[in-house]
Amino acid sequence: MSPQSVLAALTTGLRSGAIEVVDLTSPLSSATPVIQLPAEFGQTAVFELEEISRYDNRGPAWYWNNFRSGEHTGTHFDAPNHWVTGKDLTDVASVPAGRLIAPAAVLDFSAEAGADPDFLVEVEHVKAWEAENGPLPEGGWLLVRTGWDARSHAQEPFLNADASGPHTPGLSPECARWVAEESPVIGLGVETVGTDAGQAPSFDPAFPCHSSLMGSGKYGLTQLQNLSVLPPTGAVIIAGPLPIVTGSGAPARVLALVERS
């Protein structure tokens, strides 16, 4: 099949509904939850809009805004230079365009995370999924579903913090290292505020997903939604971060293409 006919088949599938476009992006507003670091560290900005004009004397025929946001606010893309282990690697503007479209494996741990918010994915969990569904996709994404997107309406339930810190699911240090160094995927996608579990500051190493993934030149996608409607295999992810020069990441519109029978 020629490249032209492949694209024609894609557009036909999109028009007919045979290929569904699923939005995995959390809407971005001042209510979007943001990560909360210990007080001694710098904090990311809550998303803000500043109105420039709205069909008035500041601009009679147009409405537009300035906005302020952290690079890692809302659904966003982590580039390798986000972490000290990847400080000499690429920024978000340098991510090859071809890597922004890739297949996905969706691993569902919503029941486990529902029973234990500190649930950690181990290498054995991934291996068990592969035994049932086949190997993780070469050059694709490993997406971890935990049901955490149901909490994304507000900061408190999303961070789920107490005196000992946040309690959210994630990967164990060994699994993070395995995904970064041994698995064929280009990155990890999660529904939580960051790629690491809430208790990751106490892990060895601390924040192992960030440390291992960024140091290996891999990527992160966070605060995803609607993973529940994706199949375990077969979906194609389109991740569109803003290409901020020298940026460590960016808010992103993340879509999934899913073939429906």
What average pLDDT does this structure show over 159-172? 97
Calpha distance 125→60 (Å, rounded): 58
What average pLDDT does this structure show over 4-14? 91
Residue range 15-68, pLDDT digits in tens: 999 999 999 999 999 999 999 998 899 999 999 999 999 999 999 999 999 999
DSSP string, the chain: --HHHHHHHHHHHHHHTSEEEEE-BPPPSTTS------TTS--PPPPEEEEEEEEETTEEEEEEEEEE--TTSSSEEE-GGGSGGGTTS--GGGS-GGGGEEEEEEEE-HHHHHH-TT-EE-HHHHHHHHHHH-SPPTT-EEEEE-SGGGGTTSHHHHH-EETTEE---EE-HHHHHHHHHTSS-SEEEESSSSSS-TTGGGSSSSSHHIIIIIHTT-EEEESB--GGGS-SEEEEEEEEE---TT-SEEEEEEEEEEE--
CB atoms within 10 A of CB 213: 31
pLDDT at 38 (0 to 100): 86
Q: Is the pLDDT score of 127 beyond 60?
A: yes
* Nearby residues of 129 by Cβ (< 8 Å), 6 or more positions away: 105, 107, 232
Query: Where are the chain's structural domains?
Result: 19-44+70-257
pLDDT at 261 (0 to 100): 77
Task: State the catalytic residue, choosing from 72, 76, 82, 210.
Answer: 82
Q: Is the pLDDT score of 3 beyond 80?
A: no
Calpha distance 57→60 (Å, rounded): 6
Q: Is the pLDDT score of 97 beyond 70?
A: yes
What average pLDDT does this structure show over 85-95? 98
Calpha distance 147→227 (Å, rounded): 8
Are the C-beta atoms of 224 and 75 separated by less than 8 Å? yes
Band of residue 1 on the pLDDT scale cut at 50, 70, 90: low
Is 19-44+70-257 a CATH 3.40.50.620 domain?
no
Residue range 178-206, pLDDT digits in tens: 999 999 999 999 999 999 999 999 999 99
pTM of the model: 0.95
72 is catalytic: no
Backbone phi and psi for residue 16, each to the nearest 5 degrees, phi listed first: -80, -15
Q: Is the pLDDT score of 2 beyond 90?
A: no
